[in-house]
Structure 1
Amino acid sequence: MPDSALVIEDLTCPVLTATQREILEHTESLAVDLTPEVLIGRAIEYTGLDDFGAADFRPRLDAYARAADADSGNTNLNRLILQNRIVRLLSQRLLLTDLLRRYPEIHDIEIERPIIVVGLPRSGTTHLVNLIASDARRRALPYWESQEPFPLRGEGADVNGVDPRFTRSVAEHQSAMMMTPLVQAMHDRFPQAIEEEVELLDLDFASYVLEWHGRVPQWRDFYLGLNQDEHYGYLRTILKALTFLRGPRQWVLKSPQHCEQLGPLIRTFPDATVAFTHRDPVAVIQSAVTMLAYGDRIRRTEIDPYGLVDYWVDRIERLLQACVRDRELVAAERSLDISFHQLNGNELSILERLYAANGTEFSAEAQTAFRAYLDDNPRGKHGRLQYELKGHFGRSPDEIRSRFGFYFDRFDIREEA
C-alpha cells in the first residue's frame, strides 16, 4: 500500500471529532422549516425581488421540498443545509429573472460549439473538464459561481477587487474541510475548481442533484418523469446570462446527469462536441458510496452502508442503460469516447482529437496551458483512499459488475477493482 493511501477505519461506525460533535449539537436546536411558502418568503426578503419568472416551477419546488422534508434520516444540520440550499436556488432564480428583465438582449446571445463532458461520477470527468478549462478561450463554471451565479443587485467587488460571492464560497469551503477533511482526497471541490452545470439546472428544480444530498427516491422518480427539453432550455438561458456577465462564449460543460438526458442535451446544444468518459462501474460505485458514507457522519443520524450501495448500484445502472440506449443520438463526428485508462498520460492526444471535432484550433498557447495544468495536478495530489467495498458495504466487485455486462459490451472498459 503506498504511503499516501488513506484508510477510513471508522467509515460505517464513525468516531466524531470534537468539532463535528460541537457543530451537530449546536445546530440540533435550530428551527428548520422546509415549507415552500416559507422558503419563497426568505428568498424574496433576501433579494428584495418577487418575480420568479414562469410559475410552472412551483410543482417542482413543492416536490423537491417535500422529498427533502420526508427524509427522516437527516441530522438537523443537513436539514438546515437543505433549507439554505433551496432558499439560495430561489434567490438565484429571482436574480436571473430580474437580470433578463433589465437586459433582454441576453436572449440574443448564442451558446456556440460547447464542449460537453459526459460520464459517470468518478470517471475522469472532473479531471477532463478542469483540464479543458485551462484554455483561456473557454468559459467554464467554477464552483463559487455555480453556487451564486448572479450577484445581488448593488453588490460588487470589495476594495481588493474580490467578488463577495467568491469570499462566501471560500468561507463555506473552509467550514466543509473542518467538518469532513478527507473529502479533498475524494472530490476536491474548492472554490476555483470547475463545477457541474447540474447546479444551474437545479435553479429550475429539475435535476438529479438532490439525490446526492439525501435519501430521496420519490424525488428521483419525479425527476425522471419531467420533460427535460424545457429544463435544458432554461439551462441554456442561464448560460446566456452568465456569458453576458462574463464571457467568452465557448463553454466547456460537464455532468453525469447528461448520461440519461442525451436527447434533451443534444437538442438544446445541437452544435456541441461531446466527450464521453467510461470507467469500470465498480470503481465508480465504490468511490461514490465511500464519499457519501463519509459525508453521512454529519448529514445523517446513522450510516446505512447497505442501503447506500443498493441505491447507487441501481442509480448508476439507470444512468448507463440510458447512455448506451441513446449514445447514437450524438453524431460520431461530433463526439469522442474516452476510456478511463486512456486518460493517464494521453490527455494531449485526446484533446487534439476533441478540438478537431469541435472545429477549434489546437493552439500552442492552449497546449502550454494544458501541460501546466497536468504538471500541477497529478492524480492522487491530495492522497488516495483505499476502498473496502466488501468490508464496508458487503458487496463483492464481481457481484456488482455482473449488472453491467451491457456497458462493457458497448465500450472499451477495463476491470479495475
Structure 2
Amino acid sequence: MSDTTTRPEPVRLDDLAAPRFSPEARAIVDGAAAFADAVQLDAAALMDQACEATGLDDFGPMDFVERLELLVWCLEHEGQRSPMGKVSAASQLGQLLQNRLLLQHLLTRHPEIHDVEIAAPMIIAGLPRTGTTHLHNLISADPALRSLPYWESLQPVPFPAEAELAGTPDDPRLARTEGALSMLDVIMPHFRRMHDMTTWHVHEEIQILAMDFSTMLFETMAPMPTWRDYYLAHDQRPHYEYMKTVLKACQFLRGGDRWILKSPQHLEQFGPLIDTFGDATVLVTHRDPVSVMISMGTMLAYSARTSQEPVDPKAIAGYWADRLETMLNAALRDRDLLPAEQSMDVRFDEFMADDLGMVRRIYDLADQPMPPESEAALADYVATHQRDRYGKVIYEPEVLGIDVAARRTAMRAYSERFAIPDEPW
C-alpha cells in the first residue's frame, strides 16, 4: 500500500450533513439506538454502574463529581446527541469512571507508584493536522522511548480479574479495542484517510486527562460552549498532576523510561504543562491555521455521524475555527513560558520536507541518543508510513462555511510570529 501508484483515488465527503450508511453501518447504528431509552446519562447512575462493573467503590479525590455533573448537563442540553450518541457518551463516561476506580485501587495497593519518576519527557504540543501524529508515531518507533498505545489510553489499568493476562497477547483490552475500531471502520470508512487508528497506534495523553473530567477532549463529542467556558476558566494544574500520576501507574505496570507524549490541549496550557513536567522538552508544531481549520472541521463533521443528530457541518466547523483561534492565541501569548533551551518550534512544511532531519534536531535538543538501532527503526517507520497512503480527502471550505480570507486575517499575528507560510486555498 506504500507505493503511490496503488493509493485509492481522492474522495469528496459529500454527505457530511446527511450521512449515508452502508447496510452494515446502518445495522450498527440502529442496534446501538435500540438501547438509548435504557441509558441513564446521569452522573450518579454512571458512578453506580462503574462501581458495579469493577467491584470497587473508591474513586479517589471526589472533586471530579462537580465536573462530571456539568459535563452530563452539557451533553444533554448542548450536545444534540443522536440515540447512538447517547449510548456512546454513556459508554465513554462509564469507562473513564471505571478507569478512576481501577487506578485508585492500584494506588492503594502500591503507594510506591507515587515515587515513580517521569523523567525529561518529550512532549508534542500542536493542533491536529499540523504533523503531530506523524511526528509522534515516528519518534515512538524508537524502541528506546516509552509511548502510550491506543488500547492503554482507553484502559491504562486492567481489571483485577484480568491482571494476569496483562502484557500478553490475550490481554482482553486488546480485543476490546480491536472490536471498537472495527465498528468505527464500518461506520466511518474514510476516517483513516484523515487519521489512522489502530490498537497499537500511539495515542494522546488527553485520553487520561479525561479521567479527571477536565479537558477540552469532551468538546470533540459535540460543540459545548458551557463546558468550554468552564474548562477555560479553571486552573488545569491539578488535572495535569492527576495525568502525571496515571503516567506513573502506566510506567509501573508496563515499564519504560523516557516518554514521548502529545496533545493539542497543551497549546493553551503551557503554564500547567511546564510546571508539571519541569524538565520536559516541548515541541510546538505549527501550520497555516486556515489549513488546520478546514481539515479539522471536516474530520469532526465527518465523525459527528456517530453521535449527533442532526449533523450541522457549518456549526461544527465554525465552533472549531473559533476554538482553534483561542488555542493558537494562547500559544502565541504564552510561548515564552517554555524555556528556550527546552523547546523548539516545528514548522509543518519543514518537517514534511525532511522528517528524519527534524527528528535529529529534536534529539540533539532533548539530549536523546540515536544509536544505530534507533536510527534504523525511525528510517523503517518513514519507509512504511508514507503520507496519504490510504488516499486523500478533498477539503472544501465552502461546505464548512469557513471564510478563508477573514480567518487568515484574524490569525496573521500568529502566522507572522512563527513565520508560517500560507497554504493555497
State the TM-score, normalized to the length of structure 2: 0.94
Q: Are 2:140 and 1:133 aligned?
A: yes
**Whole-angstrom distance in 2 between the partners of 1:200 and 1:313:** 25
The Cα of 1:72 is off from its aligned counterpart by 5.5
**Whole-angstrom distance in 1 between the partners of 2:167 and 2:60:** 34
Please tell me whether the aligned partners of residues 356 and 362 of structure 1 are also in contact (alpha carbons under 8 angstroms).
no
For the structure 1 residues 297 and 173, does the alpha-carbon distance in structure 2 shift closer, same or farther, using more than 3 Å as the test? same
Please tell me whether the aligned partners of residues 130 and 286 of structure 2 are also in contact (alpha carbons under 8 angstroms).
yes
For the structure 1 residues 378 and 72, does the alpha-carbon distance in structure 2 shift closer, same or farther, using more than 3 Å as the test? closer
- Which of 264, 269, 272 aligns to 1:264? It is 272
**Whole-angstrom distance in 1 between the partners of 2:142 and 2:349:** 23
The 5 A counterparts of 1:378-397 are 378-390=386-398, 392-397=399-404
Cα deviation code 1:205-238 (max 9, x no counterpart) = 0111011011211111111122211110111111
1:251 match: secondary structure: strand
**2:58 corresponds to:** 51
For the structure 1 residues 158 and 237, does the alpha-carbon distance in structure 2 shift closer, same or farther, using more than 3 Å as the test? closer
Cα deviation code 1:2-22 (max 9, x no counterpart) = 963221222233333223333
**1:167 corresponds to:** 175
The Cα of 1:158 is off from its aligned counterpart by 8.5
**1:255 corresponds to:** 263
CA RMSD in angstroms, aligned pairs only: 1.6
1:28 is aligned with what amino acid?
A
Cα deviation code 1:325-360 (max 9, x no counterpart) = 110111111111111001124122211221122122
The 5 A counterparts of 1:3-14 are 4-14=9-19
**Whole-angstrom distance in 2 between the partners of 1:405 and 1:3:** 36
Count of residues paired in the alignment: 415
Q: Are 2:351 and 1:346 aligned?
A: no
Please tell me whether the aligned partners of residues 20 and 298 of structure 1 are also in contact (alpha carbons under 8 angstroms).
no
2:13 is aligned with what amino acid?
I
- Which of 63, 67, 73 aligns to 1:60? It is 67
Counting aligned pairs with the same residue, the percent is 39
**1:79 corresponds to:** 86
**Whole-angstrom distance in 1 between the partners of 2:271 and 2:69:** 26
**1:177 corresponds to:** 185
1:399 match: secondary structure: helix
The 5 A counterparts of 1:215-226 are 215-226=223-234
The 5 A counterparts of 1:156-305 are 156-157=164-165, 161-305=169-313
Any gaps of 5 or more consecutive residues in structure 1?
none
**Whole-angstrom distance in 2 between the partners of 1:260 and 1:153:** 37
For the structure 1 residues 159 and 15, does the alpha-carbon distance in structure 2 shift closer, same or farther, using more than 3 Å as the test? closer
1:275 match: secondary structure: strand
Please tell me whether the aligned partners of residues 137 and 202 of structure 2 are also in contact (alpha carbons under 8 angstroms).
yes
For the structure 1 residues 3 and 243, does the alpha-carbon distance in structure 2 shift closer, same or farther, using more than 3 Å as the test? closer
Please tell me whether the aligned partners of residues 79 and 222 of structure 2 are also in contact (alpha carbons under 8 angstroms).
no
Any gaps of 5 or more consecutive residues in structure 2?
1-6
**1:28 corresponds to:** 33
Cα deviation code 1:73-132 (max 9, x no counterpart) = 211101110100111000000000010110111111110010000111111111101011
- Which of 401, 405, 410 aligns to 2:408? It is 401
1:274 match: secondary structure: strand
**Whole-angstrom distance in 1 between the partners of 2:336 and 2:190:** 39
For the structure 1 residues 254 and 159, does the alpha-carbon distance in structure 2 shift closer, same or farther, using more than 3 Å as the test? closer
